[in-house]
Structure 1
Amino acid sequence: MAPPPRKFQTLSESSGIGSRPLSRRALLGGVAGLGILGAAGCSRMPPPGEVEGGNLLERLRDRGTARVGIASEPPFGYINSEGEAAGEAPAIARVIFERLGVPNIEPVPTEFSALIPGLQAQQFDIVSAGMYINPTRCEQVLFADPDYLMLDAFIVPAGNPAGVTDYQSIKDKGLELASGEAYAQVAYAEAHGIDVLVLPDQVAGLDAVSQGRVDAFVGTNITVRRAVEGQSQVETTEPFQPVVDGEPAYGAGGFAFRLSEKNLRDAFNEEIRKLKANGYEELLEIVRPYGFTIEEMTDLTAEELCS
């Protein structure tokens, strides 16, 4: 069982923006597993749970390119029609790496569930996929401070005939629910005693709802909202704050680094904090094209979410 959540400042209390309370709520259990070491870069990894400084930033400056692991989940991270890394997280990574003296990023697409093992196996240099930060994952990787805080929502048939509003409504009505592979929402639903059909992504979820194979598909509000754009057979519900064990479960995502590369994480984190200065103005300029607004901004830290 997760430790009791601890409350701390809201955005309105700390910056005059927004109104959502923030919490150290434990989120989805992370993906376990260690991949074999890749040939590129340093082959030595620290003992499990041990953090080291590392010199990856210097090597990336020499190379001129950082490899970023992404999963196909618009708008967080994906490959666009030109074969380039696109989405909220790659857009932030591109700006920060350039400021750190690394002019290029190279996308390495993989399944979401393979992101942490791939990072540990040195298949790429960072995870740039909007990954939720939680204590289990913090045992496996280092996180920069989160760059967003997200509510959940459902894809449902047009008109929402079953009246889906939140996880409890799914449970009470005995509805069939689907979610994406390694999505935090799977754990949220299971905490309510709901069996979840796990699908590859939100596109598969949209198809499942359209075909009547499930009553709803759950994901982050921004993910499902973009998935249903231009669709007539389905719609999204109003976004809602998930609750687990009677407490709000806050989904805040950020960049992940190997435990052996604290120096790179710290340098990256310093740039994240600069982007958040002055009312998140610069960060919003980067992520607004992907549907992010001031409502998704947060002053949470990785340290708070990992506790």
Structure 2
Amino acid sequence: MAPPRTKDAGKPGTTRRSLLAGAAALGALGAAGCSRVATASTAHGGGLLNRLRAQGVVRLGIAGEIPFGYIDKNGELTGEAPELAKAIFKRLGVGRVQPVPTEFGSLIPGLNSQQFDVVSAGMYINPERCQQVIFADPDYQMLDSFIVRKGNPKGLHTYRDVVEKKAKFATGTGYAEIQYAVEAGYKESDILIVPDQVAGLNAVEAGRVDVFAGTALTTREVVKKSGKAEATTPFAPLVKGKPHVDGGGFAFRSTETGLRDAFNVELRKMKANDEVYRILRPFGFGKAEMTDMTAKELCRG
């Protein structure tokens, strides 16, 4: 989600679009009896954690993206971020999580307008977003990868290759890869923006584009059953001329430092005993995706 660097106003047999449709219906039912939370007090880092404990439920903003946060075929909330949220909020005294599905580009606006309490979508942490919300430390790190046609006929391995070979380039709505391509010299108005990696795969297979850029995890998962496309070797995009590794985590409203700090305490304990890895592993994350980076580092850029 993965998940993206541009300014935001974040499987087999299914698509992100259909997941969002099903999830929206579930979210509407779940939200029907629940009004928006009151505006947080800024005293002592906000009072949201105490309210969540009293209510016994936390509302998670998700974007219907496998493997980060989605509703499965049984109508259950899952994904690396929601499963981690379930474990951490239980430790914090909040026993239930409730999904609130939205488009990725609406996650930060939805959080700040109090449509949900936390963004739980594996959102990349970057300076632009850090001006709008606060983040827990990242629970994973991620490199980029391309979806290309079998055999990679144009030899596309980096954003610079895409520019130099004048390849037709696509990526997802609000994805960090937009900025990486622009920084390499690709004209932003020439980028084809599609909803997600499934649509990106379809565009490559149909020959509408030469390459779709996404996270290494989502690209390698989505091409597994494709007979026409493959994922390239993961690589670090260049930011200000230096290789950059992204990290994704949970976002909170800027007033809620108390909740963010309490969340971080539990997250660090779970990292120390490998519990984060055990939770993320079923969603395709390996040891290489585990990280000790901090939100502070990533917010600096």
TM-score normalised according to structure 1 size: 0.84
Letter in 2 for 1:41: V
Letter in 2 for 1:267: A
For the residues of structure 1 that align with 2:249 and 2:240, how far apart are their CA atoms? 24
Does 1:290 pair with 2:290? no
Task: Name the structure 2 match of 1:99.
Answer: 91
| CA contact 2:6–2:175 (8 Å) conserved in 1 | no
Cα offset for 1:163? Answer: 1.2
Deviates more, 1:224-233 or 1:241-250: 241-250
Task: Name the structure 1 match of 2:155.
Answer: 163
For the residues of structure 2 that align with 1:67 and 1:143, how far apart are their CA atoms? 16
1:80-91 maps to which residues of 2 (within 5 A)?
Answer: 80-91=72-83
1:17-166 maps to which residues of 2 (within 5 A)?
Answer: 28-32=5-9, 39-43=35-39, 53-166=45-158
2:179 match: secondary structure: helix
Does 1:238 pair with 2:204? no
Gaps of 5+ in 1: 1-26, 33-37
Cα offset for 1:44? Answer: 5.4
Letter in 2 for 1:42: A
Change (3 A) 1:123 1:273: same
| CA contact 1:88–1:290 (8 Å) conserved in 2 | yes
Task: Name the structure 2 match of 1:4.
Answer: none
Among the aligned pairs, what percent are the same residue? 55
Deviates more, 1:242-251 or 1:99-108: 242-251
For the residues of structure 2 that align with 1:201 and 1:185, how far apart are their CA atoms? 12
Cα offset for 1:240? Answer: 0.8
For the residues of structure 2 that align with 1:40 and 1:299, how far apart are their CA atoms? 34
1:69 match: secondary structure: strand
| CA contact 1:276–1:283 (8 Å) conserved in 2 | yes
For the residues of structure 2 that align with 1:256 and 1:173, how far apart are their CA atoms? 37
Letter in 1 for 2:289: E
| CA contact 1:73–1:223 (8 Å) conserved in 2 | no
Cα offset for 1:171? Answer: 0.9
Cα offset for 1:244? Answer: 2.6
For the residues of structure 2 that align with 1:43 and 1:147, how far apart are their CA atoms? 28
1:98 match: secondary structure: helix
For the residues of structure 1 that align with 2:185 and 2:294, how far apart are their CA atoms? 31
Task: Name the structure 2 match of 1:205.
Answer: 200
Cα offset for 1:183? Answer: 0.5
Task: Name the structure 2 match of 1:299.
Answer: 292
Letter in 2 for 1:287: L
Cα offset for 1:221? Answer: 0.3
| CA contact 2:67–2:218 (8 Å) conserved in 1 | yes
Q: Describe the superposition over 1:247-304 as per-residue Cα deviations: whole angstroms up to 9, x where unpaired.
A: 11221110000012111111111111011114xx211110000010110111111112
Deviates more, 1:72-81 or 1:289-298: 72-81
| CA contact 2:6–2:178 (8 Å) conserved in 1 | no
Q: Describe the superposition over 1:41-76 as per-residue Cα deviations: whole angstroms up to 9, x where unpaired.
A: 213576xxxx96111111111111111001122111
Does 1:229 pair with 2:221? no
Letter in 1 for 2:296: E
1:129 match: secondary structure: strand
Cα offset for 1:137? Answer: 0.8
Q: Describe the superposition over 1:21-45 as per-residue Cα deviations: whole angstroms up to 9, x where unpaired.
A: xxxxxx824313xxxxx95221357
Task: Name the structure 2 match of 1:173.
Answer: 165
Q: Describe the superposition over 1:77-100 as per-residue Cα deviations: whole angstroms up to 9, x where unpaired.
A: 111112222111111101001111
For the residues of structure 1 that align with 2:292 and 2:76, how far apart are their CA atoms? 30
2:167 match: secondary structure: coil
| CA contact 1:202–1:227 (8 Å) conserved in 2 | yes
